Amino acid sequence: MSYATLFGGLFLAAAAVTSQAGAETISLWARSDDSTFMPKLVDAFNKSHETRVELQIVPVNELVQKYAIASAGGSAPDALSLDLIYTPAFASSGQLEDLTDLAKSLPYFSSLSPAHLSVGTFEGKIYGMPFSADASVLLWNKDLFKKAGLDPEKGPTTWAEIRADAEKVRALGADTYGYYFSGNCGGCNIFTFTPLIWASGGDIFSDGGKKATLDTPQMRDAIAFYQGMVKDRFVPAGARTDTGTNFFAAFATGKIGITPSGSFAIGALNGQYPNLHYGVTYLPGKTGGTSSFAGGDNFVVSKGTKKLGAIKEFLEYAYSLEGQTLLARNGSLPVRGDIAKQALADLDARYLIAADAMAKGRTPYSVVFNDLINSANGPWNTTLSKVLFADAGAIEPSLKEGDAAMQSIIDAAR
């Protein structure tokens, strides 16, 4: 090695140390559900920017509590990729940084997912930015449709069509069923059952999440629709006690004709069950129309962080075509509508249906979402468990009771 080569090497090493010393480092937490895409996004950012992101993946069932404790103790990360439905709760408690100016400075702000922003906004200010996305959709098994004499390329577009198609698939044999849903899973059913109500003109909350509206004609109709398929045994008996374990697995067996699911199922089915031929369509209303639960994560920033400039740099990378494409290839739908088609260009065309569903989707707004919806003993899951596998006489009293229980929790949180 020559003296010049050695000197040049020492100079470059010193420059690298100086560069790293001057770079800001952001601490970022994400739930384990994001582990397919978040490490890849962070690695790509770190390789192309002086700003560094230190990522910590936290088990999904521990993240909310761990963040709440860290925030109270002054040890919260700079930023967090948070299940979007929890954004109102943390924003209302004063634990998040106001991102309104940052958000509105982005030239593509108007193209960001409106559903994510709807739950990311509290008292007129933005505390959560759209980050990752999933959408609820309807899947159908093309092989079973063909065997049942149905058009394998045409998914159902109304509740009557779902029922008629499910009946024909069920007629194929004792171990083949027309429809499946996880009957004892509040999170599953808010994701896949509520869009049936939304698409029919109803809702489960009103007045910005301050009023429960379970007891509506649309909700009663949707329950009766499910009750009818359960009564006629289009749905396997195991659905009644399923807490979400078979939310995806039941359809993957190839013995289910139709199921509501999420856009995550496209990648999972393609990778794990390549011989399963299936279609993807929108969740319909009673007589038409469509809706979807827009799920995924909001990007939130801990109150008091001094690193908003570096955080904006990371967000801008995530929102770039490169970032959106990387996310799309690893399990998340794009959250920028203006470049969604470009980000999904080389992927399965069924993702475009899911992306369109997400863009038009909704997310329920509540500062006590977990107590109302996700809790196994909460009024949402309790009410549905009572009525979906009962007879028509149970609908009215159960909805009135569920409505009152929900309203009590909402009022207690004010």
Report pLDDT digits (tens) over 347-376.
999 999 999 999 999 999 999 999 999 999
In three-state form (DSSP H/G/I as H, E/B as E, the rest C), the secondary structure along 60-84 is CCCHHHHHHHHHHHCCCCCEEEEEH
Tokens 């000197």, residue? 7
pLDDT of the residue at 23: 83
pLDDT of the residue at 94: 95
Per DSSP, the three-state class of 387 is helix
pLDDT of the residue at 3: 30
Give the span between the Cα atoms of 227 and 211, in whole angstroms. 26
User: What is the pLDDT of the chain when averaged over all its residues?
Assistant: 93
How distant, in Å, are the alpha carbons of 111, 319, 352 from that of 339? Answer: 9, 9, 12
Other beta carbons within 10 angstroms of residue 48's beta carbon come to 10
Give the span between the Cα atoms of 169 and 179, in whole angstroms. 9
Alpha helix segments (H runs only) across 302-412: 308-319, 321-329, 340-343, 350-359, 369, 379-387, 395-412
Please, what's the b/e burial string for 151-175 (b: 16 or more CB within 10 A of its CB; e: otherwise)? ebeebbbebebbbebbbbbbebeee
Q: What is the mean pLDDT of residues 32-55?
A: 97
Report pLDDT digits (tens) over 88-131.
999 999 999 999 999 999 999 999 999 999 999 999 999 999 99
Query: In this structure, which amino acid lies at residue 386?
Result: K
What residue ranges of the chain are covered by domains with CATH 3.40.190.10? Answer: 24-134+294-359, 136-291+366-412
The answer to whether the CB of 239 falls within 8 A of the CB of 181 is yes
Domain 24-134+294-359 has CATH 3.40.50.300: no
Looking from the CA of 266 toward its CB, the CA atoms found within 13 Å total 26
Give the span between the Cα atoms of 411 and 356, in whole angstroms. 35
DSSP state of 368: T
The answer to whether the CB of 209 falls within 8 A of the CB of 414 is no
Query: In this structure, which amino acid lies at residue 289?
Result: G
Give the span between the Cα atoms of 96 and 311, in whole angstroms. 14
Q: How far is CA 115 from the centre of its chain?
A: 11
Report pLDDT digits (tens) over 149-161.
999 999 999 999 9
Tokens 């004609």, residue? 217
pLDDT of the residue at 319: 98
The answer to whether the CB of 400 falls within 8 A of the CB of 235 is no
- Look up the pTM and report it: 0.91
pLDDT of the residue at 333: 97
pLDDT of the residue at 263: 96
The answer to whether the CB of 34 falls within 8 A of the CB of 297 is yes
The answer to whether the CB of 274 falls within 8 A of the CB of 96 is no
Task: Give phi and psi for 336, each to the nearest 5.
Answer: -100, 110
DSSP state of 296: E
Alpha carbon dihedral 23, 29, 32, 33, in 10-degree steps, equals: -90
Report pLDDT digits (tens) over 1-42.
433 333 344 333 443 433 444 589 999 999 999 999 999 999
Alpha helix segments (H runs only) across 232-263: 249-252
pLDDT of the residue at 327: 97
Per DSSP, the three-state class of 30 is strand
Give the span between the Cα atoms of 117 and 298, in whole angstroms. 8
Please, what's the b/e burial string for 87-112 (b: 16 or more CB within 10 A of its CB; e: otherwise)? bbbbbeeebbbebeebbeebeeeebb
Domain 136-291+366-412 has CATH 3.40.190.10: yes
Give the span between the Cα atoms of 367 and 347, in whole angstroms. 36
pLDDT of the residue at 275: 97
Report pLDDT digits (tens) over 193-247.
999 999 999 999 999 999 999 999 999 999 999 999 999 999 999 999 999 999 9
Task: Give phi and psi for 400, each to the nearest 5.
Answer: -65, -40
Per DSSP, the three-state class of 346 is coil
Bridge partners of residue 284, in order along the sequence? 290
In three-state form (DSSP H/G/I as H, E/B as E, the rest C), the secondary structure along 3-16 is HHHHHHHHHHHHHH
Query: In this structure, which amino acid lies at residue 72?
Result: A
How close are the terminal C-alpha atoms of the chain, in Å? 73
Beta strands at 79-83 and 25-31: parallel, antiparallel or unpaired: parallel
